[in-house]
Amino acid sequence: MKPKTLYLVLCLIGLLLPYSQFVPWVLQHGLNLPLFARELFANRIGAFFGMDVIVSAVALLVFTRIESARLGIRRRWLVVIAVLTVGVSLALPLFLYLRELELEGKPRVA
């Protein structure tokens, strides 16, 4: 399987798995952000995962900005939208897919 195809499969998984948990929660509670934050940080394990994802998202956005400028990757804004609406699980494979598209279009230097 080509990396580009694998990254698209990971995008799909990165969208479906988190939303399989989030959508039922939203249907039950609505978009109650204070409750969301309380439940996310209800204990140290939840806080551990919450902080890990926040730091990973920031690191990904910084990396995306730097790498996009270096390689001339277009549509970087899609990665920002993916981080804000789903998270790193979608945004990282999406960026890797966009990066592969850009690399495919450039001649290789030996």
pLDDT at 108 exceeding the cut of 80: no
Has residue 23 been placed in a domain? yes
Give pLDDT tens digits for 36-76. 999 999 999 999 999 999 999 999 999 999 999 999 998 99
pLDDT at 23 exceeding the cut of 90: yes
Has residue 110 been placed in a domain? no
The CA distance from 13 to 7, in Å, is: 10
Containing structural domain, residue 30: 3-103
pLDDT value at position 21? 96
Total domains present in the chain:
1
Has residue 67 been placed in a domain? yes
Has residue 109 been placed in a domain? no
Has residue 36 been placed in a domain? yes
The CA distance from 57 to 3, in Å, is: 22
Rg (CA), the chain: 16
Has residue 87 been placed in a domain? yes
Has residue 58 been placed in a domain? yes
pLDDT value at position 2? 92
pLDDT at 109 exceeding the cut of 70: no
Confidence class of residue 105 from pLDDT cuts 50, 70 and 90? Answer: confident
Has residue 90 been placed in a domain? yes
Give pLDDT tens digits for 71-101. 999 899 999 999 999 999 999 999 999 999 9
C-beta separation of 86 from 18 below 8 A:
yes
At which residue do the structure tokens 């995306």 appear? 64
pTM for the model stands at 0.89
